């Protein structure tokens, strides 16, 4: 089975998630800058989540470029990932509207953690289907980002109840880690795709 319909469906879901998140930014009744200012925490959490969904879309895009066979297992592992990502608008809205309070901050971390685990499961499912010398396995290599992220999310979840600012800092830090371009993987993907033609 080719990957195009899986990509199209995932793109659709990710596009909707990233866009309906903005609906949590409710139009205030007052027409002054103060009303806007009160939305600052919701806006900031929207920006953070937008970047996270962008990172997932980006990585998902690269991963599927190195995937050829879509099995039933891959379909369900992908839906599992989309499930956790679909909770982003809820977690983002709750955290933003409560000005980064402890419980919502922890929940945000739980959603991030579960999405990272789901991504890892999808990755392993694809690699298992590719057998030895899997191009995806070689592309991700040690995958230190994929291993470090859930660990930092776990710390952030615990920290939420003691020092919420630390959790927020960790969420931003992990996003930055992924934003730094990883030219090595990009080059690998390009080389691999050219080779196959």
Contacting residues toward its own copies, per CB under 8 A? 1, 5, 7-9, 11-20, 22-25, 27-29, 31-33, 36, 47, 50, 54, 57-58, 61, 65, 71-73, 75-76, 79, 82-83, 86-87, 89-90, 93-94, 97-98, 101-104, 107, 179, 181-183, 186, 189-190, 193
Question: Cα dihedral sign for 151, 122, 132, 143?
Answer: negative
Pick between residue 36 and residue 40 the one whose CB is nearest to its own copies: 36
Residue 63 tokens, joined: 């991963």
The least CB distance from residue 55 to its own copies, in Å, is: 9
The least CB distance from residue 182 to its own copies, in Å, is: 8
Classify burial at 12, counting beta carbons within 10 Å of its beta carbon; exposed 0-12, middle 13-18, buried 19 or more.
exposed
Q: What are the b/e assignments for 50-85, b being 16+ CB within 10 Å?
A: bbbbebbbebbebbbbbbeebeeebeebbbbbbebb
Contact criterion met (CB below 8 Å) for 28 and 38: yes
Pick between residue 128 and residue 151 the one whose CB is nearest to its own copies: 128
Pick between residue 12 and residue 141 the one whose CB is nearest to its own copies: 12
The least CB distance from residue 46 to its own copies, in Å, is: 9
């Amino acid at each position: 089975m080719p990957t195009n319909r899986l990509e199209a469906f995932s793109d659709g879901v990710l596009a909707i998630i990233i866009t309906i998140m903005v609906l949590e930014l409710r139009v205030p009744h007052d027409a002054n800058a103060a009303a806007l200012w009160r939305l600052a925490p919701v806006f900031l959490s929207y920006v953070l989540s937008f970047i996270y969904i962008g990172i997932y879309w980006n990585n998902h895009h690269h991963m599927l470029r190195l995937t050829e066979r879509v099995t039933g297992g891959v379909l369900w592992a992908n839906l599992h990932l989309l499930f956790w990502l679909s909770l982003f608008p809820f977690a983002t809205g709750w955290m933003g509207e409560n000005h980064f309070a402890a419980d919502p901050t922890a929940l945000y971390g739980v959603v991030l953690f579960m999405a990272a685990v789901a991504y890892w499961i999808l990755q392993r499912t694809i690699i298992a289907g590719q057998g030895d010398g899997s191009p995806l396995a070689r592309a991700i290599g040690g995958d230190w980002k994929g291993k470090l992220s859930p660990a930092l999310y776990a710390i952030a979840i615990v920290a939420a109840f003691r020092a919420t600012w630390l959790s927020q800092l960790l969420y931003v830090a992990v996003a930055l880690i992924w934003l730094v371009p990883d030219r090595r993987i990009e080059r690998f993907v390009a080389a691999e795709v050219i080779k196959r033609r």
